[in-house]
Amino acid sequence: MARPVVGVLVMAYGTPNRKEEILPYYTHIRRGRPPTPEQLQELIERYEAIGGLSQLNQISRSQAESVLRALQAMAPDVDWRLYQANKHWEPWIPDVVARMAEDGIQQAVGIVLAPQGSKMSSGAYFEQVDQALARLDRPLQVERILSWHLEPEFIAAQVELMREGLARFPGGEPEVVFTCHSLPARILEWGDPYPEHLREMGEAIARGAGVTRFHFAYQSAGRTPEPWLGPDVRDKVAELAAAGARAVLVAAIGFVSDHLEVLYDLDIELKQAAAELGVHLERTRMLNDHPGLAQALANAVLRAARGAL
């Protein structure tokens, strides 16, 4: 008998591949409203400060391929077919979902390369999936993994990176600050799980690594007038400095890759602000190609697929 075919849709944020693509990318993030020339220039300068562009698309692609290999190793009884797509740049999620249907995929599992869930983070990826599914004239069933923030292999990998980060403070335990991307504060009115997921991830990692002093903050809030989730990580570091802290270790656990929001917002902007406050600030490494990340994602996909087959 032929093995069952299961599509694996691995979705990432996306980033421009060339400088000329920064404007349409930014416009897409802003839901079709072009940025002002000043806003565009500011974003171009942030990309320039990290070497011109971000490697996020390459990293996401490679992470997705590792998930496929882990699935093939664990469950060779299934014919896994990998599809990688992005929310804000090509390959676009709706195009890739249409291609899955053209390829005859009928069962698929979708997962996002960000651990925590929110109507405005993972939910927004699946909204793009749903819009594409509604236009199809063929049956395609997509199982949704809206969050995977407590997958044991993921937590274990983060614990390892936390221990490595702590080792950079031989003089004593630093204050640890766990961050994820800020979202508009109105998500709280919906009882959105996002803040709870950040806390649960951080607590599990702190427990695993034996961290006793840890805090939570949000980073990279959008440049819009509405209120965003706080405290902002810059304010949190200033608060810790005012209370006498001289060593801070930031862990951007809401992300899994080296990209602009980490390499610029934390490594350049936050480090400089910390230095001005007399604080030695380090950041734990991102997972990128850590095998524990691929294994965690593959475990979540396999469970969802087994439930659906």
- Residues contributing to the annotated binding site for Fe-coproporphyrin III: 13, 30, 46-47, 54, 125
43 is a site residue for ligand HT9 (CB under 6 A): yes
Asked if residues 246 and 275 have their Cβ atoms less than 8 Å apart, the reply is no
223 is a site residue for ligand HT9 (CB under 6 A): yes
114 is a site residue for ligand HT9 (CB under 6 A): yes
Residues 229-258 that bind ligand HT9 (CB under 6 A): 254
71 is a site residue for ligand HT9 (CB under 6 A): no
x/- binding map, residues 164-203, to ligand HT9, per CB under 6 A?
-----------------x-x--------------------
CB within 8 A of 30, min separation 6: which ones?
none
Binding residue for ligand HT9, selected from 8, 9, 10, 15, defined by CB under 6 A: 15
Tell the smallest beta-carbon distance from residue 75 to ligand HT9 (Å): 27
x/- binding map, residues 268-307, to ligand HT9, per CB under 6 A?
----------------------------------------
Binding site feature residues for Fe(2+): 181, 261
Residues 117-136 that bind ligand HT9 (CB under 6 A): 121
Tell the smallest beta-carbon distance from residue 262 to ligand HT9 (Å): 8
Binding residue for ligand HT9, selected from 9, 211, 240, 260, defined by CB under 6 A: 260
Binding residue for ligand HT9, selected from 149, 197, 259, 283, defined by CB under 6 A: 259
Asked if residues 254 and 147 have their Cβ atoms less than 8 Å apart, the reply is no
Q: Which is nearer to ligand HT9, 93 or 305 (CB)?
A: 93
- Whether cis (ω within 30° of 0) applies to the bond prior to 91 is yes
| Residue in the block written with tokens 């590792």 | 66
d(CA 300, CA 186) in angstroms, rounded, equals 29
| Residue in the block written with tokens 């869930």 | 117
Which of 251, 70, 92 is CA-nearest to residue 166?
251
Which of 226, 206, 227 is CA-nearest to residue 216?
206
Binding residue for ligand HT9, selected from 139, 152, 222, 230, defined by CB under 6 A: 222
Tell the smallest beta-carbon distance from residue 130 to ligand HT9 (Å): 17
Binding-site size, ligand HT9 (CB under 6 A)? 20
Asked if residues 14 and 90 have their Cβ atoms less than 8 Å apart, the reply is yes
Tell the smallest beta-carbon distance from residue 70 to ligand HT9 (Å): 21
Binding residue for ligand HT9, selected from 10, 54, 85, 100, defined by CB under 6 A: 54
10 is a site residue for ligand HT9 (CB under 6 A): no
What HEC string does 175-223 produce? EEEEEEECCEHHHHHHCCCHHHHHHHHHHHHHHHHCCCCEEEEEECCCC
Q: Which is nearer to ligand HT9, 16 or 174 (CB)?
A: 16
Angle formed at CA 103 by CA 9 and CA 31, multiple of 5 degrees: 50
Name the site residues for ligand HT9 (rule: CB under 6 A). Answer: 13, 15, 26, 29-30, 43, 54, 56, 114, 121, 181, 183, 220, 222-224, 254, 259-261
